[in-house]
Every structure is written in C-alpha cells, then in structure tokens.
C-alpha cells in the first residue's frame, strides 16, 4: 500500500520526538550514571530495578499500544506522550526516594510506550515506502542519536555551569543541585518538542485514513502471528536491545576502570552518543544499496567482536587508545543493529496496514531487556566490583550478540530475496 510521501520535516520531527521522549528515563542516566547513583543514593542493582519496573509496564503498553497506532494518526498520540513524560521530570527533579522513583519509572513506561512507540515506527515505515526502508530507519535512529548527543552535550554544559566548584572538589549538595538543573532543562525541552509535533507533524486526511483501520480483528492478529518473520524479529530485537542497554555502563566503566572523574565520565557517555548518528545514517544508506538483512547480521558480528575486547580484560586503565577504539567497535555494532532491525519488516512481508499490531507483538518479547538487563548488569557489577564486574557484563553482551547473529542469519536466508 503506497501513500504520498511525507515531507522531510515530518521525518525530522519524528527524529526529534523519538529521542526526546527517552531523555529523562534513559539518556540522563546513560550520560550521568555515576552522578545519578550518588544523587539518588542508589546502587547499580537498585537503578536496574527501576528500569525493570519501567519494562514491566512497557510490556503491557507495547501490546495495547500497537493496535492503537493502527487506529489513530500519530501526531496527537506522540505529542501527548511527550507532554506527560515531561511532567514526570518535575517529580524526578525533587530526588525522590527509591519507592517513588520506581513508581515514576512505571509512569514513564506508560507515557513513552503506550502512546508513542508503535506510532513512531509505523510513521517511519510509511515515510520510507518500499525502496527506502534502510534509509528511513537509519536516519531515524541516527538522527535520534544526534538529538541524544546534543541533549547529552547540553546536559554536561548545564551541569558544569551550575557546578560551583571543580568536579573533584564539589560537595554532594553542589553536585545534586547542578544535576537538578539538568533535569529541569531537559523536561522543558521535551515539552517544547511536544508542542512542535502537535503544531507541525501533519499529513493530509486522505493519507492518514489510508494507513488506519477502524478496528483490529482477531483474524488480523492471527495473520500477524502466523508470520515467521515476526517470531524471528522478536529474537533479533531482544538480542540487539540487550546490546543497547549495555551501552549504559560505558560512563561507569570510565570511572571504575579508567579512573575518570564524574565530569570526564559524562563526557565519555556523550562521546558514545555522537557515534550513534554517524553509524545510523551510514548503515541506512548502505543497507538500501546492498541487503538490509545481511547488514543486520554483520552488525551483530561486529558487536560480538567488540565485546570480546572488553570481556577478555584487554582494556585496562593504561590502555586509553584501546579503550576508545573498543568503545567505538561495540557502539558501531550495537547502533547499526538498532538502526535497521525494524527496516527488515518490509522484507519479512509484514503488512503495512498492520504495522502497529506487529510492532506491539514483536516488542512484547523484543524489549523484555527493559525488565531483566538492568538488574542483571547491576548484579554483575555489584557482585564483582571494579574491572571483574565489567568483564562479566561484556561476556553477557557477547553471548547475546552471537545469538542475535544466528537469528539475523536465519532471517537473511529466508527473506533476502523477497520482493
């Protein structure tokens, strides 16, 4: 089913919204992980449990939100998701206790997924048409990476501006106060993006009606579940998303193993974010010119190879160059995988009209790392403090990358020559 191609600014708004909605629950803790642990008085395991609450709520939200995306136009759903997520930032900025923090992450699991996730994926697939799926999803994830990097850079800038002393000499209260301004600044930007989406992310009424169904039937759900591509995609996304979750520990690795201070560790996290847009755009272009399914397989192989450099203990305090090279290799594989795993839906003969329903079902399994990856990483890091814990985390990444490569190869063998 073809529709008139939406303009470029439509994709740009999707990119901007696609990362903004996750700034508060995920990007800040990725860039400022040591600061978050200190400011909220959390262990790695406790922070992982917050992510688990998010994942449990998201699990239901994926399933219910998928069909919603097939019934309603994305603009309203996405804007409301952004505004409600920004409201949660006001609570986050009060540095609530562990119980309230878990409730807040559950709230974010609803606002960022139920109204947001499937509409974003479906709108991107529509924009890409039949011949530019790699470019559409590569640009989406690469652009989201750039937005995340810019948010991270602005966050580090705000943190440093409000940090009245040097990072190593600042008191706990000074670091916490500086981070509060980072949270409030981020919340304001997320709300602003919601306004832009509401005002400008519009298409014609005819185009919107052509990709909507009045209601989802059980026969349509059965049609989606009978597709082998849906089941393979569940496993591919699960393995790829574990890799993405593990990128959260790089700033902590910089502190624990490379012995950087909190500001330097945050800068490492920001450096990682800048890799994502470059990889996303490049893999999207290359995938459309070669085979998207093959590029997905190779991305898993690269992630597995990079993880072994960390897991075997080759990256040490004195190996600064190797640290950044290894970080780049892992990030390249992980971000390339993430950029194009939804781009293979067209090859897998998943109907465009039922994209939202399919995304909901695939995400139900594919994003379970939101439940188990955080606590698993937290346990490994807390049970073996310092370099040993980080090696265990990267062994975990290697195992899931190899499993993902196997699933991606099976997908490639079955669907690489599909129309």
pLDDT attached to residue 235: 94
| CATH number, domain 8-415 | 1.20.1250.20
Indicate the pTM of the whole model: 0.75
Return the number of other C-beta atoms located less than 10 Å from residue 312's C-beta. Answer: 12
pLDDT attached to residue 5: 59
pLDDT attached to residue 122: 80
pLDDT in tens, the chain (419 residues): 444 556 778 888 999 999 899 999 988 887 788 889 989 999 888 988 898 899 889 888 888 887 777 677 788 889 999 999 999 999 999 999 999 999 999 999 999 999 888 888 887 877 776 667 778 888 888 888 788 778 888 888 888 888 766 655 677 788 888 899 999 999 999 999 999 998 888 765 444 554 555 555 666 677 777 788 889 999 999 999 999 888 878 888 888 888 777 777 777 777 777 788 888 889 888 887 888 889 999 999 999 999 999 988 887 777 778 888 888 999 999 999 988 888 888 776 777 666 777 888 888 888 888 788 888 888 898 888 888 898 999 999 999 999 999 999 999 988 876 44
pLDDT attached to residue 317: 76
pLDDT attached to residue 206: 45
Can you tell me the distance from the alpha carbon of 155 to that of 182, in angstroms, rounded to the nearest whole number? 5
pLDDT attached to residue 106: 95
pLDDT attached to residue 167: 57
């Amino acid at each position: 089913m073809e529709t008139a191609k939406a303009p470029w600014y439509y994709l740009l708004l999707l990119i901007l919204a696609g990362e903004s909605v996750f700034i508060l629950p995920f990007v800040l803790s990725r860039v400022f992980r040591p600061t978050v642990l200190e400011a909220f008085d959390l262990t790695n395991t406790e922070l992982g449990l917050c992510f688990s609450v998010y994942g449990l709520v998201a699990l239901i939200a994926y399933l219910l939100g998928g069909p919603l995306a097939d019934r309603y136009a994305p603009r309203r759903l996405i804007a409301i998701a952004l505004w409600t997520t920004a409201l949660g930032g006001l609570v986050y900025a009060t540095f609530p206790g562990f119980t309230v923090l878990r409730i807040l992450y559950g709230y974010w699991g609803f606002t960022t997924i139920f109204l947001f996730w499937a509409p974003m994926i479906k709108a991107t697939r529509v924009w890409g048409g039949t011949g530019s799926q790699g470019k559409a999803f590569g640009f989406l994830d690469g652009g989201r990476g750039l937005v995340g990097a810019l948010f991270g850079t602005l966050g580090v800038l705000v943190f440093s501006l409000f940090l009245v002393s040097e990072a190593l000499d600042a008191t706990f209260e000074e670091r916490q106060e500086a981070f509060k301004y980072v949270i409030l600044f981020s919340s304001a930007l997320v709300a602003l993006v919601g306004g832009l989406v509401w005002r400008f992310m519009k298409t014609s009424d005819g185009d919107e009606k052509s990709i909507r169904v009045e209601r989802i039937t059980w026969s349509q759900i059965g049609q989606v579940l009978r597709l082998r591509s849906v089941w393979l995609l569940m496993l591919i996304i699960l393995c790829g998303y574990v890799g993405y979750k593990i990128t959260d520990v790089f700033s902590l690795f910089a502190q624990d193993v490379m012995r950087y201070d909190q500001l330097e560790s945050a800068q490492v996290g920001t450096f990682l974010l800048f890799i994502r847009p470059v990889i996303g755009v490049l893999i999207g272009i290359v995938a459309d010119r070669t085979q998207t399914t093959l590029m997905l397989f190779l991305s898993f192989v690269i992630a597995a190879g990079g993880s072994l450099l960390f897991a075997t203990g080759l990256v040490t305090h004195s190996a600064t160059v190797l640290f950044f090279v290894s970080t780049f290799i892992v990030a390249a594989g992980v971000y390339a995988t993430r950029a194009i795993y939804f781009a293979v839906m067209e090859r897998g003969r998943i109907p465009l009209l039922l994209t939202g329903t399919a995304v909901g079902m695939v995400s139900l399994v594919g994003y379970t790392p939101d439940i188990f990856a955080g606590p698993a990483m937290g346990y490994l890091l807390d049970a073996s403090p310092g370099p040993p814990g980080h090696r265990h985390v990267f062994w975990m990444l290697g195992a899931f990358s190899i499993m993902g490569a196997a699933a991606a190869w099976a997908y490639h063998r079955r669907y690489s020559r599909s129309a």
